[in-house]
Amino acid sequence: MIPYKNLGGQSNVIAYSTTSDSITVEFRDHSLYLYNYGSAGIDNITQMKALAANGSGLNSFINKIVKKNYAKKIR
């Protein structure tokens, strides 16, 4: 997992990892969610990867846009 930069200082996201068609996000409560093209759509996954790399806006994007469209809760 790659530590999330959290440039805004208020994100619940602490880490993430990506594959060609997915992103896995770890939250502050240590829950881990897998989002992929099938669950959230290619455009949303592309945006989530960009936000994760930039270290800002990922938690808000998930809460406002992606919501519960995850493929799997890992833990």
Tokens of 18: 């990506």
E strand or H helix that includes residue 45? helix 42-54
48 contacts 23 by C-beta, under 8 angstroms: yes
* Count of C-beta atoms within a 10 Å radius of residue 66: 21
| Lookup: tokens for 38 | 């099938």
Map residue 69 onto helix, strand or coil.
Answer: coil
45/30 Cα distance (integer angstroms): 21
Q: What is the pLDDT of residue 22?
A: 98
pLDDT digits (tens, 9 = 90+) for 5-49: 999 999 999 999 999 999 999 999 999 999 999 999 999 999 999
Q: What is the pLDDT of residue 1?
A: 97
